[in-house]
Amino acid sequence: MIVLLLVVTLTFGAAREAIAQATPTGEAVMAWPVTIAPSWFDPATLPPQITPFGILFALHDAMVRPLPGQKMGLGLAEAWTESSDGLSYEFRLRRGLKFHNGDAVTAEDVKFSFERYKGAGAREL
């Protein structure tokens, strides 16, 4: 037992010293753990608590998106205005947007998506 304790102490002591002497270099890589695998990557039905925005934005574009150091960044929208009471938003879509199959993205498509999200469980809308 004493030998085991000595081995563990020496091992962790050496590791701690090596970590303390290490100087980070290169690029940082960020990873998002997803603890519960979604059965479907539909943004209207994914639980937001377990699906990081980084994964959703890799699969689906958004009208606007949160960016570091800013309130919101541009996505499908090239501009937007907010009503004085903060309850209404008007978005101007970028020109030339297309779905994966080549069909044009229209304002009607965006309206359909928002109405669908609102009814499918996105309680935040």
Q: pLDDT of 36-76, one tens digit each?
A: 566 666 777 766 666 666 667 777 788 888 777 878 888 89
Architecture of domain 28-125: Alpha-Beta Complex (3.90)
Specify the amino acid at residue 3.
Answer: V
Cα distance between residue 55 and residue 119, in whole Å: 22
Domain residue spans in the chain?
Answer: 28-125
How far from chain centre, in Å, is Cα 30? Answer: 12
Q: What is the pTM of this model?
A: 0.55
**Reported confidence tier of residue 15, pLDDT bands at 50, 70, 90:** low
The mean pLDDT of the chain is 75
Q: What is the 3-state secondary structure (H, E, C) of the chain?
A: CHHHHHHHHHHHHHHHHHHHHCCCCCCCCCCCCCCCCCCCCCCCCCCCCCCCHHHHHHHCCCCEECCCCCCCEECCEEEEEECCCCCCEEEEECCCCECCCCCECCHHHHHHHHHHHHHHCCCCC
Cα distance between residue 76 and residue 37, in whole Å: 27
